[in-house]
Chain A
C-alpha cells in the first residue's frame, strides 16, 4: 500500500484545536463526500458520515481536535497570557512557535524563574511581535486559541509532525473509506470533537447513533526510546490492538475480532496495554445500555509534543485492519 503523505500533511496542517474544529471538518468533508451515503454535523460539531448497510451498526471514531492554548489576557505591551486546552506541558511549550486561526504566529516564553522545575503555564506568555496592546488586539482576542506550529516531515520509515494525535486516526478512516469494498455493515465514520478535553464529542455522537459496536482509531504511547517508561509497544511492530487504558477495558469479543481479522489477513499487529490516557471508546462503550468497544491504536512517540513520530508501515497496517473489520460479516 502506498503511503498517502500528501493527505496526512494536509490534515495536520489544518488548524483545529478543541472547540474550533470547523476547518478540519470542511477539509474532511471535501475528502469523503463522494464516498458515503449521508453526512451530518451535530450540535457539538461532530462530523458523522454514514455508509448504509443492513448488517451491524459500527461506529468508527477518530477525533478531529488537537490540543491548544487559549488566550486569557493581553497586557499593555502586547504580551498574551494563556491557559491550556487539553494536555499541554509547560516544558514542551517553552520556545515553541504557535499559530492562530488567522495565521498570526507567536513564540512562547516564560517569566524569569530560578527553578525551572517550578515552571507552570501561568508564568508563561506568548510574544506575537506586537509593540503594544492595541496592536496585539488587532490580531488576537481573548478566547482565541493557538496551536503548535511546526513543519510536517516524512522519510522512508517515519512521519514526524504535530497532532498525529489524532489526525492520523482521521487519515486512516478516510483512506479506509477510499479503499474498502462494499459491505453489509451499517458504517458510521464519526470524526469527533473535543476528545482532548474529555471525550465529549464521542459521548453525544454515540448517543445519537446507538451503535452495536464501537471502534476508536487513535494514537498510543511506546516504550521503544532510550530508557523509556516500560511499555510493550514499539514502532514498526504493526498496528496496535488495545487491551486496556484508563478509559476502557476493551470488550474481549472486540479484541478477539480484531486479532482474528489481523491473523486471517496477515496484518502485522501487536497488543497494547496503556497505563495512562484514554480514547473516544471510553465514552462510546458507556453509552445508553453499553456498547462493546475497542481501539485500533497507532504507536506514536512524543505524543502531545510539537513533533510526534509514527511509522508509515504501522499506519498502513492500521488502515488495512480497519478495512478488513468493516468488510467482515461481524457476529459478536
Chain B
C-alpha cells in the first residue's frame, strides 16, 4: 500500500531525498513534466485538455524528527529537534540514525536517580541522549556523524475499526492523496507540488509558488486532532472519523471564503462528511502560496491525525478516503469556472 511505503520512508525536513525518489517513481508515468527545483521541491505538471486557472496542489514531503548535535565520550549521541516536537514523548522511543539507519533508543537518567524537581518537569534536550549500543566516542563515530538526521522507527499498522497508526502521517497523507490525484484523469492542468521543509517554516512552498504563480492553491494536510477526554468541544480542533477538515483560518492564512463555501457545498451535495478545523494555531504551506507574487486564493483540506508530531500518529481510513474524494470533486468544480 502506498501510504504504508510513504510513512515508512524517512524524510526529516532538509533531508527529503528518499521520499522524493519514491514519489517521482510513483508519478513519473502519469504527468507531463517533473522537475526538482533548487531547494528540493518536486514540481509535477499534468497538462489538461481545457483552459483553466493555474491550480497548484501542494503537500509537504518532510516530517519532524531529530538531528545529531554531539557525540559524547561515552558513545552516547546528543541531538536537537527538527520542527515542532513535544519533548515529553521522546524518552524510550526507538529511532534510526543516518542513511545506514543505525538503530538507537532515546534514553535518560532513570527515574529513581532523578531529583524531586526533575521528576515533575519534562526532560529537556540536554537530559536526553540516544544509545546506539556504542561503548566509546570512537565506536559511535564509526557509525554516526554530527548532522546526521534521526527518524522515529515506527511501522505502519492498521488496527481497530478503520484506524491506521504510523509516523509522519503529517504530511504523507497529503503526498499520497496528491499522487492519487495526479494518477487520475482530470480535464484541467494541475501543478502538483511536493514541498520540502514545511515543518521548519514553510520553506519550500514560497519558491515553488513564486515559480508557478498560481491563481488557486489547494493544500493537503494531516492536521491536529484533539478529540480526547477533558478537552472542551470548542477547543477540539478536529475529530477522528468526522470527515475531511476544512480550514477557516490559521496563523498564516485566512482561507478564501468563496473557495471554502464551494468545498462545503460540494461535501453537502455529495453526502461526504466534513468538519471545520476549529482551532487556529499552526500554519501550513498556504501561508506562502497565497502571498506569492500578486496573490492567490487558497484552501486547505486535512485528514485529522491524533498524536501528530510524535513517533506515532493515528488516522481514520474513511477520513482519508473522503478527503481524497472531496479533493477530486473540487478539481472538477474548478473546471466549471466561476471561482476567480
Chain A residues in 8 Å Cβ range of B295: 42-44, 46, 203-205, 207
Contact A207 B293 (CB under 8 A): yes
B109 in contact (CB, < 8 A): no
Q: In the complex, A203 Cα to B276 Cα: how many Å?
A: 28
- A positions within 8 Å CB-CB of B: 18-20, 42-44, 46, 70, 72-73, 75, 81, 83, 85, 122, 142-143, 194, 197-198, 200, 203-205, 207-208
CB distance from A71 to the nearest CB of B (A): 9
Chain B residues in 8 Å Cβ range of A72: 234, 248, 276, 278-280
What are 20 A-B residue pairs whose CB atoms fall within 8 Å in the complex? A19-B249, A19-B254, A19-B255, A43-B290, A43-B294, A43-B295, A72-B248, A72-B279, A72-B280, A75-B234, A122-B235, A142-B276, A143-B248, A143-B276, A198-B252, A200-B290, A203-B291, A204-B294, A207-B295, A208-B293
CB distance from B303 to the nearest CB of A (A): 19
Chain A residues in 8 Å Cβ range of B294: 42-43, 204-205, 207-208
The chain A residue sitting closest to B276, CB to CB, is A142
Chain B residues in 8 Å Cβ range of A43: 215, 290, 294-297, 340
The chain A residue sitting closest to B233, CB to CB, is A73
Q: Bits for B303-340, please: 1 = Cβ < 8 Å to A, else 0.
A: 00000000000000000000000000000000000001
Q: Which of A70, A142, A200 contacts B291 (CB 8 A)?
A: A200
Q: Which of A42, A44, A46, A142 contacts B248 (CB 8 A)?
A: A142
> B70-116: which residues lie under 8 A (CB-CB) from chain A?
none
> B226-284: which residues lie under 8 A (CB-CB) from chain A?
233-235, 248-249, 252, 254-255, 257, 260, 276, 278-280
Q: A19-B254, A43-B297 are in contact. Are A73 and B234 (CB under 8 A)?
A: yes
> B2-31: which residues lie under 8 A (CB-CB) from chain A?
none
Contact B257 A75 (CB under 8 A): no
Q: A73-B234, A143-B248 are in contact. Are A44 and B290 (CB under 8 A)?
A: yes
Q: A70-B248, A81-B234 are in contact. Are A197 and B291 (CB under 8 A)?
A: no
Chain A residues in 8 Å Cβ range of B293: 204, 207-208
The chain A residue sitting closest to B214, CB to CB, is A43
Contact B249 A70 (CB under 8 A): yes
Chain B residues in 8 Å Cβ range of A20: 257
* Total A-B pairs, Cβ < 8 A: 66
CB distance from A46 to the nearest CB of B (A): 8
CB distance from A21 to the nearest CB of B (A): 10
Q: In the complex, A88 Cα to B67 Cα: how many Å?
A: 38
Most B CB atoms within 10 A — which of A19, A75, A205? A19
Chain B residues in 8 Å Cβ range of A143: 248, 257, 260, 276
Q: Which of A18, A42, A75, A208 contacts B254 (CB 8 A)?
A: A18
The chain B residue sitting closest to A200, CB to CB, is B291
Q: In the complex, A142 Cα to B275 Cα: how many Å?
A: 10
Q: Bits for B145-164, please: 1 = Cβ < 8 Å to A, else 0.
A: 00000000000000000000
Contact A73 B254 (CB under 8 A): no
Q: In the complex, A88 Cα to B182 Cα: how many Å?
A: 42
The chain B residue sitting closest to A19, CB to CB, is B254
CB distance from B249 to the nearest CB of A (A): 6
Chain B residues in 8 Å Cβ range of A194: 254
CB distance from A161 to the nearest CB of B (A): 24
Q: In the complex, A20 Cα to B297 Cα: how many Å?
A: 13
CB distance from B217 to the nearest CB of A (A): 10
Q: A204-B293, A204-B294 are in contact. Are A197 and B234 (CB under 8 A)?
A: no
Chain B residues in 8 Å Cβ range of A142: 248, 276, 278
Contact B290 A83 (CB under 8 A): no
Contact B233 A85 (CB under 8 A): no
Contact A19 B233 (CB under 8 A): no
CB distance from A145 to the nearest CB of B (A): 9
Q: In the complex, A204 Cα to B210 Cα: how many Å?
A: 12
Q: In the complex, A19 Cα to B298 Cα: how many Å?
A: 12
Q: Which of B249, B252, B278 contacts A73 (CB 8 A)?
A: B278
The chain A residue sitting closest to B249, CB to CB, is A70
- Besides A42-B294, A72-B279, A83-B279, 7 more A-B contacts (Cβ < 8 Å) are A43-B340, A70-B249, A75-B233, A75-B234, A142-B276, A205-B294, A208-B294
Chain A residues in 8 Å Cβ range of B252: 198
The chain B residue sitting closest to A288, CB to CB, is B293
- Report, nearest first, the 5 A-B pairs whose CB atoms are least far apart: A204-B295, A73-B234, A19-B254, A81-B234, A43-B295
CB distance from B237 to the nearest CB of A (A): 9
CB distance from B231 to the nearest CB of A (A): 11
Q: In the complex, A204 Cα to B256 Cα: how many Å?
A: 15
CB distance from B323 to the nearest CB of A (A): 18
Q: In the complex, A207 Cα to B210 Cα: how many Å?
A: 11
Q: In the complex, A36 Cα to B275 Cα: how many Å?
A: 44
Q: In the complex, A204 Cα to B290 Cα: how many Å?
A: 9
Q: In the complex, A211 Cα to B255 Cα: how many Å?
A: 27
> B187-245: which residues lie under 8 A (CB-CB) from chain A?
215, 233-235
Q: In the complex, A81 Cα to B340 Cα: how many Å?
A: 31
The chain B residue sitting closest to A283, CB to CB, is B291
Q: In the complex, A84 Cα to B260 Cα: how many Å?
A: 19
The chain A residue sitting closest to B215, CB to CB, is A43
Chain B residues in 8 Å Cβ range of A18: 254
CB distance from B279 to the nearest CB of A (A): 7
CB distance from B230 to the nearest CB of A (A): 14
> B156-191: which residues lie under 8 A (CB-CB) from chain A?
none
Q: In the complex, A143 Cα to B257 Cα: how many Å?
A: 9
Chain B residues in 8 Å Cβ range of A85: 249, 254
CB distance from B327 to the nearest CB of A (A): 20
Contact B254 A197 (CB under 8 A): yes
Chain A residues in 8 Å Cβ range of B260: 143
Chain A residues in 8 Å Cβ range of B340: 43
Chain B residues in 8 Å Cβ range of A70: 248-249, 280
Chain A residues in 8 Å Cβ range of B291: 200, 203-204
